[in-house]
Every structure is written in structure tokens, then in C-alpha cells.
Chain A
Amino acid sequence: VNAKRIGWAGVVLGAIAWYITLPPVLVRTPVPSILLALAAVAAGVATTRAGEQRLGRGAVLAGAIGAIGAVVATKSGVANLEKVFVWSALLAATLRFATPLLLGALGGILSERSGVINVGLEGMMLMGAFFGIFGADVFGSWFLGMLAGMAAGGVLALIHAVFSIALRADQVVSGVAVNFLAAGITGYVFIAHYGDQGTPGEVPSVPEIKLPLVKDIAFVGDAIGEMSLLTWMALLLVPLMALYLYRTPAGLRLRSVGEKPRAADSVGIGVLRTRYLAVVASGCLAGLGGVYLSIALVHSFNQGMTAGRGFIALAVVIFGAWRPYGALAGACLFGFSSAVAQRLPAFSESLAVLFQALPYVMVLVVVAGLIGRSRPPAAIGVPYVKE
């Protein structure tokens, strides 16, 4: 039997260990869960021994989380559990929270695959959030608002690109700088234009797609029957991005620029041009994530409303090993933790505040390499100088 299968079995066992204590199964004793979790840990150890360290650690972690989750669940009241773990609603909320992360992460993949670190995703998302709603308000159209938001993200990305590509600035510092710039610019225009009133209530928003037949199916209908257009777009972008990166000449060129720019240059690929395009495109995608926040999710803007989502998107890029499907998995994981955190006030109002920190703690766990580390593009962070 190969090690990978054992590892994945471990991950699944860990998940099952938690799942059986939650609605609708609701086992009220932790014993079977703990046994399952131990099996998961054992599978993880075996996988690690067999050489699949990354997956092995993932299985061990899944076992640990499964056991802890199961113990907590069996200690809490059934009524509360049923209020929090409404799976269809949780899935819907997961996708809602995952959308901006996924769009930002896909942007991050483009930029970083071309060799430019993009710590500025946060600011680009913030630009998209403000100029999305600003554009929608001024032009009276969600579509033009969306374009304005993407353009604003792209413009900020262009600043980052000029500094990190042409001026060969330190990419992390330049990224941090554009984040400050975005916070200042959006806050300034927001106050100058809307003052103390805030954004108006009747700004046109991105339509939701209602699937006529799917909507009536019991579970699926509640989960995906009514999702924002942008959520669908984000989900659709994942295979498209994978196709682009791995199945087209342009994608190969992009990757070669991020791995071996000198070699790419020597076969006639424009390294700098490719990087410019990639960084600006990443800004547009992150901006689209921001547009989703302001005119699809909350229908208003407040200063600094991205609240670190751009940074989480960056963590999603790393978690997903710079791959589109990996980013999808990461975005759903963080989206799920946000979705659960959002529903926890059922247990305790004040504890729910604490759980707002959950996604950030998750990122820490991920960057700590507990789930394993992956190899970034070889030339990332290194400015390219043509000979």
C-alpha cells in the first residue's frame, strides 16, 4: 500500500472523528472519536516514516484537531451544536468568506509565479473595496463599479511593479508601503466624498445567481443555490488559472520567468514585461476580491475594511504551494474557520469575539509548517537585471 493513501486515510479519519460528534450524527461520548483520532495519528506517523513528511504531519494534525473538536463538541449542549453546525448554511458561509481570499490568492499566485513577492495584496484589495463601491455609486452600475475597483487594484499594483521591477526596490518593503498608501488613499477619498455619513445604502450591488432547479434540492440548494456572481467567477477562475499556468505557452513563460529568469531571457521571453503584466493582473484580481467585499458581501465601505484578508490570501498562496487548486483548498479552509467563528455567538457572545482571531491563528499554524512546507518559485524576490 502506498504511503500517500495511508496519509490521506489519516486525514479523513481525523475529520470523521470530529464529524460524528456534530449534528446530525451527534455521538455524545468522545470515546469512538478519540479512537479514530489515534488511528489518524498512527496513520500520520506511518506516512511520515514512509517518507511523505508533509502529508504525514497533516494527518497527525487532523487527528489532534479531530480529538480536540470531538471532546469540545461532546461537552457542549446539543441545542447549541445544532444552531452552529447547520452544514448547508456553513458551506454557504464558507464560500462567501472564501471568495475574496480565493481571488486575492489567485492574484498572488500570478505575481509570485512571475517572481515578484506581493505583500501588497491587502492594499490592492482595499483599493478594490473602496473604488468598487465608489464607482458603483457614481456610475450607478455594479458592473462599472467592479471595473473601477479592479482598475484601482491594478493601479496600486503598477506602483508596486515599478518599484520592485524597474527600481529594484525590496519587494517586501515596497509591498508594505503600498498597503499604507492604499489605507491612506481610500480613507482620504472616503472621508472627502462621504464624510461622516458613510457610503449610501442603495448602491447597486453584484447580482446573486439563483439556480432555478438546484435551489429546490434539499442540501445543495441551501448551500450553493443562491451565490454571488463573483463567487462563481472565483470558482471558475481556479481551473482556468490551472489551465493557463500548466497547459498554455504563456503560462509556461510566466513560470519560467519566476524560476530561471536568465534562461527565459535567453530564449527571448521579456522577463520584465511578463512580470509587469503578472503584478498588474494580480492587483486587478485582488481588487476584484475587494469589490466582492464592498458591493457583494456587506454593501458598504468602512476604513480598513479588508482587515488582513489580503495577508490571509498571501498565506493561502503559500498554503496552496503556489497552485490554483491548492489555493482553492486553502481559501475554503480559512473561509470555513471564519464561517464557524461567525456562528459561535450561539455559545457565548464574548468568546465569539475571541474566535475572530481564529483565521489568523490558523495562518500561524500553516506558516509554522505544521502542515508542511512547500517550495516557492526559485527566483522570487530577486530583481532581474538584464545583461
Chain B
Amino acid sequence: VTEPVDQLDGTPVAQTPASRLAAYIRGGGVIVPLLTALLAFVIGGLVVLITGHDPIATYKAIFEGTGLQWLFPWVTGPERETAALNLQQTLILTTPLILVGLAVAFAFRAGLFNIGGQGQYIVGSIAAVWVGSSFAGMPGFPHIVLAMLAACLAGAAWAGIAGLLKATVGANEVISTIMLNYVALWVGVYLFSQGGPLQNARDSSLPVSNDIAEPAHLPVFWGDPVLQGLHVGLFVALAAVGIFWLLLNRSTIGYEVRAVGLNPEAARYGGMNVAKNYVLVMAVCGLFAGLAGSLDVLGWQFRLATNDIQISQIGFLGIAVALLGRNTAVGTMAAALLFGGLLSGTSQRNLDPTIFEPQLASNLTTIIQGLVVLVVSADVLVLGMLRRGRGLFRRRRPVPEGEA
């Protein structure tokens, strides 16, 4: 029997490109991510400039679209009210980004590259919309919890497929998670399209799901519920950040996950079940991403259209969020706020179209997202050199453990 090898790079299954990356990526502090983001924004600004727009005005308009100036005490009056509305949108978008970011980050820490956040998010939102629109007459709180649980389980099961394939036959998780994204997308479109099994019961001409039962809507704690105020899902996402940190840094599971991520061979030698860890890690990732789907559905979408499923990019943004956040809990949270702001600042609703066209701006977001990932992929080199340099001068001192 031959040792299963990774299909992309031919190394034994245990050693993935992601595991090498994870080993480097823990260092570098807060400076490197800040420089990364800055560089991406500067290059994005150049793109804006080349195509005949004013980058400063554009970024200013995008910033105003995020509503972050609400934090400045000198902004008052109607300006402050608009800022509050915009900031609510930013935080609504930050909520799922935190969770899909965690879904990618957790995998990275175990040396896996989860590109399947999008698919896991989709199956989570499908499960949540199904549970949330069924069981009419159920009291609100248990209904919400049930819908979230269903979403978590669906996401975990979906991601678990990739983990299982990796653990048993060595199928590369990069390819399998990408494929699972497309399968989830088409299954979702099938379910809610005309004639689909979960399509709207009242109007058979609309390719949307049933509506979430009124009591199962997540309560809004800031802003007007009618105007899409900020729902309590944000606190669920923040709690998930805490759980991520505890799970990774203060639990046996987390210890094993990190050990497998740093050096799978050593972990195996140390008696850990690497294969079991792969399945477990992917399931946890899917759980986070699935939860993200449920928060969007229960918090502000309240129904799922086939179109929503087809244009959603939240899960892919999770990759940039996690990488920029250095795969740590706090970093992911901060990066999610950055991209949440970018998303809401470039949205049709918040960006002033006389300064910059929102459709262009959303593509600018994708460019910035790509640049961030590109720069992070290369700063591995910078960090590697830093580390080697450090090793030369302070050979005795152990490399400090990365904090999450």
C-alpha cells in the first residue's frame, strides 16, 4: 500500500502548501497586514486613476458610504444620522464576513486551504431559510436557535465532505471545496427556482424561497427594523470569535489542530490522528460558514432568491479576510470590518453614483481583495527572511508563539 499523496503537489497528504503557509503566517505582528492593506488600496487607487476617476474623491466617497465617520464625535446633525444608517449596513455585512473569515482561518491553522466558504455559506442559508420558513407558530427564540443549528449542521456536513475526502483518499481540499461551491450553488438555484421543491408556496412565478416566519426574525438593536437596522447576529459572530480563540488556544482540539497545521508528520508521530483532525477541522469551518448564512437569512434577507445565491461572494471574501487577519481571531475580526466597510461603502445604496459608479466600485473591491491575497502570499517570503535573520542573531531564543 502506497502512502496517499496530495494531488496538487505530490507531497504526502499531511504536508500541504497551506501547512507551510500557516507555519509562517503566525509571525509578523500587526505592521505587515496594515502595509498589505495599504498597498492593495494604493494599487486599487491607481486603477481608478488610470480609468479617469479621482482616486482620493472615490475613496472618500466609499469611506462616507461605510458610515465609519459616525465614530467621530464632531460629525453631528443629519450627517450623523446618515452615517448611523450606513454604519448599520457596514456592520450587517461585517457579521457574516467575520464568520466566513473564521471558517477559512481555522482551516489554515490546521494546514488546510478552505476555498469552500461560499458553498458552506450557501448550504447554511438554505437550511436556515427552510427551517425559518417552516414550523409556523413556533415561538421566536427556539425557532431562531433551531434555524441556526440547522445551518451549522448543514455547513459542517458540506465542508465535512471535503475533510473526509482529504482524510481517506487524499483528495486535495482546494479542488474539492471549489467543486462543492458550485454544487451548492446549483442545488440552491434548483431548490428555489420555478418548480423547485422549496420554491415560494404563494407565488409560483417567483424564484424565491418562502418568507422567514415573523417571530424568527433576529431582533434589531440599533436602527429601524423596517429600514434594515443592525440585528443581534453581530453578537453571535463576536461570540464565535471568542469561541474560535478558546477552541484554538485553550482546548485539546485546538492544540492538535495547531500541531497538525505546523507539522503533520510530527503530530502523527506524537500519536495524533491526523485524518480525524482533517474531518473535524473542516466540519468546524463549515459550522462557522453555515452560521454566517443563517445570520444573513434570519437577520435581514428573510428570504432567499436564486439570484441572491448566484451573485453572493461573501464566502470568497472570507479568504482575503482570514489571510489579512493572519488567521487569528482578533485579526479576522478587524479584517472583516475592513471588507465589510468596503462592501457597504461600494454598494448601490451607500455610494454616491455621481462620484463613482457602484458597479465599478464593487469590481474595485474584488481587485483589492485579489491584491490583498497576492501580497499576503508573497509576504510569506518577507516573514521567512525575517525569521531566518532572527534565527541567525538569536539562535538560543525560541521563536515566540503567535498569539490569536
A183-B370, A184-B363, A373-B7 as given contacts; A349 in contact with B194, CB under 8 Å:
yes
How close is A123's CB to chain B, nearest CB, in angstroms? Answer: 8
* Nearest B-chain residue to A164, judged by Cβ: B377
Residue of A172, A349, A364, A376 touching B195 (CB-CB under 8 A) = A349
Residue of B4, B9, B384 touching A373 (CB-CB under 8 A) = B4
Across-interface contacts of B170 in A (CB, < 8 A): 369, 373
Chain B interface, DSSP helix/strand/loop, else mixed: helix
Pair B10/A174 contact, Cβ less than 8 Å: no
Across-interface contacts of A360 in B (CB, < 8 A): 179-180, 182-183, 186
Across-interface contacts of A308 in B (CB, < 8 A): 178-179, 181-182
Pair B370/A381 contact, Cβ less than 8 Å: no
Pair B360/A192 contact, Cβ less than 8 Å: yes
Assembled-state Cα–Cα distance A187/B357 (Å): 13
How close is B10's CB to chain A, nearest CB, in angstroms? Answer: 4
- The verdict on A191 contacting chain B, using a C-beta distance below 8 Å, is yes
How close is B94's CB to chain A, nearest CB, in angstroms? Answer: 19
- The verdict on B169 contacting chain A, using a C-beta distance below 8 Å, is yes
* Nearest A-chain residue to B47, judged by Cβ: A188
Pair A188/B367 contact, Cβ less than 8 Å: yes
Pair B187/A173 contact, Cβ less than 8 Å: no
Pair B323/A173 contact, Cβ less than 8 Å: yes
- The verdict on A353 contacting chain B, using a C-beta distance below 8 Å, is yes
Pair B175/A177 contact, Cβ less than 8 Å: no
Pair B369/A184 contact, Cβ less than 8 Å: yes
- The verdict on A357 contacting chain B, using a C-beta distance below 8 Å, is yes
Pair B9/A174 contact, Cβ less than 8 Å: no
Assembled-state Cα–Cα distance A364/B164 (Å): 12
Contact residues, A170-219 vs B (CB, 8 A): 170-174, 176-185, 187-188, 191-192
- The verdict on B172 contacting chain A, using a C-beta distance below 8 Å, is yes
Across-interface contacts of B51 in A (CB, < 8 A): 188, 192
Interface string of B354-387 (1 = CB under 8 A from A): 0001011011111111110110111011001000
Residue of A159, A181, A191 touching B367 (CB-CB under 8 A) = A181
Q: Which of A6-14, A134-142, A310-318 contacts B (4 or more CB under 8 A)?
A: A310-318
Interface string of A365-377 (1 = CB under 8 A from B): 0011100010111
- The verdict on B333 contacting chain A, using a C-beta distance below 8 Å, is no
Across-interface contacts of A171 in B (CB, < 8 A): 17
Pair B9/A380 contact, Cβ less than 8 Å: yes
* Nearest B-chain residue to A381, judged by Cβ: B9
Across-interface contacts of A173 in B (CB, < 8 A): 17-18, 21, 113, 323, 373, 376-377
- The verdict on A119 contacting chain B, using a C-beta distance below 8 Å, is yes
A167-B381, A173-B373, A188-B363 as given contacts; A357 in contact with B175, CB under 8 Å:
no
User: Interface size on A (CB < 8 Å)?
Assistant: 56
Interface string of A148-172 (1 = CB under 8 A from B): 0000000000010001000111111
Pair B360/A172 contact, Cβ less than 8 Å: no
- The verdict on B228 contacting chain A, using a C-beta distance below 8 Å, is no
* Nearest B-chain residue to A179, judged by Cβ: B370
How close is B185's CB to chain A, nearest CB, in angstroms? Answer: 8
How close is B336's CB to chain A, nearest CB, in angstroms? Answer: 17
A177-B377, A187-B363 as given contacts; A378 in contact with B10, CB under 8 Å:
yes
Assembled-state Cα–Cα distance A117/B10 (Å): 11
How close is B40's CB to chain A, nearest CB, in angstroms? Answer: 10
- The verdict on A297 contacting chain B, using a C-beta distance below 8 Å, is no
Pair A117/B8 contact, Cβ less than 8 Å: yes
Pair A357/B176 contact, Cβ less than 8 Å: no
How close is A342's CB to chain B, nearest CB, in angstroms? Answer: 13
Assembled-state Cα–Cα distance A356/B47 (Å): 35
Pair A172/B113 contact, Cβ less than 8 Å: yes
A171-B17, A181-B370 as given contacts; A363 in contact with B179, CB under 8 Å:
yes
List 17 additional contacts besides A353-B196, A364-B179; criterion CB under 8 Å.
Answer: A117-B17, A163-B374, A163-B377, A168-B384, A172-B17, A172-B113, A173-B18, A188-B364, A188-B366, A192-B360, A356-B186, A363-B179, A364-B183, A367-B171, A369-B170, A373-B169, A377-B10
Can you identify 24 A-B contacts, CB atoms within 8 angstroms?
A: A167-B378, A168-B381, A168-B384, A170-B21, A170-B380, A173-B17, A173-B377, A176-B319, A177-B373, A180-B369, A181-B374, A188-B51, A303-B363, A308-B179, A350-B190, A350-B196, A353-B189, A357-B190, A363-B175, A364-B180, A364-B183, A367-B171, A367-B176, A381-B9
Closest 10 pairs (CB-CB, A-B): A180-B370, A381-B9, A184-B367, A184-B366, A181-B370, A177-B374, A177-B373, A357-B186, A187-B363, A350-B195
Q: Which residues of A contact B (CB under 8 A)?
A: 117, 119, 159, 163, 167-174, 176-185, 187-188, 191-192, 303, 307-308, 311, 314-315, 318, 348-351, 353-354, 356-357, 360-361, 363-364, 367-369, 373, 375-378, 380-382
